[in-house]
Chains A and B, each alone.
Chain A
Amino acid sequence: MELKDLMKIIRKRLLLISVIVIAACALTGVKTFLYTDPVYQATAKLIVSQSFEVDGTRTIDWNVIQSNIKLISSYKEIMNSSAILNKVIVQYPELHATPGEISSALQVSSASDSQVMNIEVKSTSVERAVNIVNAVATVFKNEIPSIMKVDNVTILTEANADASAAPINKSPIFYIILSFIVSLMLAIGLVFLLDYFDDTIKSEDDVLKSLDLPMLSHITRINKSEFSPRKSRSSKTKAGEGTYVTAGQ
C-alpha cells in the first residue's frame, strides 16, 4: 500500500482518531491534575561492614568484604520479612502502619559490589516516609545481630524530611504527552485495522477489481441546499462566473 493510501485512510477517520486522542489526554489530565497525590520518597543508607582486630591492629579483610556484599541479598529479604516488619509495628505504634503497607512502600537496593544498602520508602506525606524509613532502618540494625548472629550493620545516613521534601511524581504534562503519543498510535492502529476488515465497495477501483464491471456513474450524497435551485444559483454567482463573462467582453 502506498503512503498516499495510508494518509487517505487516516484522513477519512480523522474524527475518530482525534476523539480517541482527545479523550485519552483529557482523562489523563483529569487523573493527574485532580486525583493524583504527590508521592514523597525518603532514603536511609545502611552500611554492612565490621572491623576486627588482628594482633591489636584494625584490618580490612577482602574476604570479609566479599561475604558482607553477599550478605546484602539476604538482608534485603530479611528486611522485607515479617520478622522485621512486625517488630517495627510493635516498637513504633505511632506510625499506625500494617506490615503489608510498609512492605509495599519499602524498596531495598544496593549497588553491585558495594556494602551500602539503600532503604527507600514512598508515601504521600514526607514525615511519614521519613519516619517509616528510619524506623525500619533502626529496627533492622538492632535486630540483625540476633537474627544473623553477626553485628555488622551500621546506619550510615538517616532519612530527613528536608532532603525528601520534593515529590517524586513526574509532572502531569509528562503523563499527558505520554498518553497523547500512546493513544495516537493505538488510534491509528485501530483505524488501519478497521480499514483492513472493511470489505465494502467504496471506489471505482473496487468496482473494477472485485466485480469486473465498468462504472457508470458516481451518485454523491445529496445536500439539503441542492433541493432549492435558487440557492445553487446564488452559489454560482459567488464563484464569480457572471462577472467574469462581462469583464471578458
Chain B
Amino acid sequence: MSQQDNKQRRHLITAINPKSIVSEAYRTLRTNIQFSAIDRQMKVLMVASATVGEGKTTTVTNLAVTYAQEGKKVLLIDADLRNPSLHLVFQLTNRIGLTSAFLHQQSLTDVIGETNIDNLFVLTSGPVPPNSSEILGSQRMQFLLEELKNMYDVILFDTPPVLPVADSLIVSSYCDGVVLVVHAGKTKKEIVKKAKASLDHVKARILGVVLNNNERSKNEGRYYNYYG
C-alpha cells in the first residue's frame, strides 16, 4: 500500500481500532448528537468548520463508521464539490458521483459506492463542476435528498469550510443538525464566531462543537485503558 493510501486510511480509526480512545470519543459524539434532540429525528447531519483543515472529513467519516457499527444504514455524501476527498479515504472512483448523477441523470444506485464497512455507503462528489453552489442549491438536489432519505437511516454530509464559500450554508438548510468542528489551539475565536454567525443567519441548527486534535492528558489515557 502506498504512503498516500496509508495517510488516507488513517482517517478511519473507528474502523481500524474500535477500542481506541479516539474511537470512544467518536462514539461519544454520536451519542451526544442523538441526545441533543430527543423530540426531533437526527437523520440528515452535516459536519462544518470555519476554515480548511480542521478535520471535517476525519470527523464525518468516523462518525459515519460509528453509526454503521450501531447497525444503521448510513450514507456519506461528499458535498465538498470543489475539493473532494471522501473517495480517497474509501479508495473509490470519483469519475462518477453526486455531480454525474445530477448532470447526466444517472440513477443514484449507480453512483453510490459501497465500502468495506457494513452498512456504510458513500456518494462521492463526482467530477468537479464550475457551479457547485448552484448544484447544491437546486430543486433537483432537494428531490435527490428526499429520495435518499427513504433509502437510508442516516445521511451525513462532508462540506467545504463555512467562511470562504456559500456551499456549506446551502447544505445546512437540508440538515437536521450541524456539527461544528474546531481545531483546538489553531482556530481563532473570532473566526469560529463568524462561522457560527453565518450558520445562524441561514437558520442552521448547530448541535455543538467537536474539539479536534486536543493534547491528551495522561489521566485521560489511564481512565480509558482501565475501562476500555
Contacts and interface: CB of A to CB of B under 8 A. Distances in A.
Most B CB contacts (10 A, CB to CB) among A12, A207, A214, A235 go to A207
Given A201-B189, A216-B36, A211 B209 contact: yes
B213 interface: yes
A65 to B, nearest CB: 74
B214 A218 contact: yes
Which label, helix, strand, loop or mixed, suits the secondary structure of the B interface?
mixed
Contacts, number: 126
Contact of A226 (B17, B184, B186, B209): B17
B228 interface: yes
A219 B212 contact: yes
A222 interface: yes
A197 to B, nearest CB: 11
Interface in A190-221: 198-204, 206-207, 210-211, 213-221
Contact of B208 (A210, A213, A221, A227): A213
B20 A226 contact: yes
Listed residue (B196, B207, B211) with the most chain A CB atoms within 10 angstroms of its CB: B211
Nearest to B225: A239
Interface string B182-203: 1011111110110010000000
A218 B25 contact: yes
A236 interface: yes
A229 B180 CA distance: 29
Nearest to B12: A227
B19 interface: yes
Interface string B23-37: 001101100110010
Contacts of B193: 210-211
Interface in B148-207: 179-180, 182, 184-190, 192-193, 196, 206-207
Contacts of A236: 225, 228
Interface of A: 12, 198-204, 206-207, 210-211, 213-222, 226-229, 232-233, 235-236, 239, 241
A216 B177 CA distance: 12
28 contacts: A199-B188, A199-B190, A200-B184, A200-B186, A200-B187, A200-B189, A201-B189, A203-B184, A206-B189, A211-B180, A211-B196, A213-B196, A214-B207, A215-B208, A215-B211, A216-B33, A217-B26, A217-B211, A218-B25, A218-B211, A220-B21, A220-B213, A221-B213, A226-B20, A227-B13, A228-B16, A229-B20, A235-B225
A198 B185 CA distance: 8
Nearest to A201: B182
B33 A219 contact: no
B207 A216 contact: yes
Nearest to B184: A202
B64 to A, nearest CB: 14
Contacts of B209: 207, 211, 213-216
Given A217-B25, A219-B55, A228-B17, A201 B213 contact: no
B26 to A, nearest CB: 7
A241 B22 CA distance: 20
A227 B8 CA distance: 12
Given A200-B187, A213-B209, A232 B19 contact: yes
A76 to B, nearest CB: 61
Interface of B: 10, 13, 16-22, 25-26, 28-29, 32-33, 36, 55, 58-59, 179-180, 182, 184-190, 192-193, 196, 206-216, 220, 225-226, 228
Contacts of B187: 200-201
Contacts of A239: 225-226
A202 B225 CA distance: 24
Contacts of B180: 211, 213
A216 B62 CA distance: 14
Contacts of B212: 219
A222 B22 contact: yes
Contact of B32 (A204, A216, A229, A235): A216
A222 B10 contact: yes
A214 B32 CA distance: 10
A203 B211 CA distance: 8
Can you list the 9 inter-chain pairs with the closest CB atoms, starting with the nearest?
A217-B29, A216-B208, A214-B208, A226-B20, A220-B216, A216-B32, A210-B189, A229-B17, A217-B28
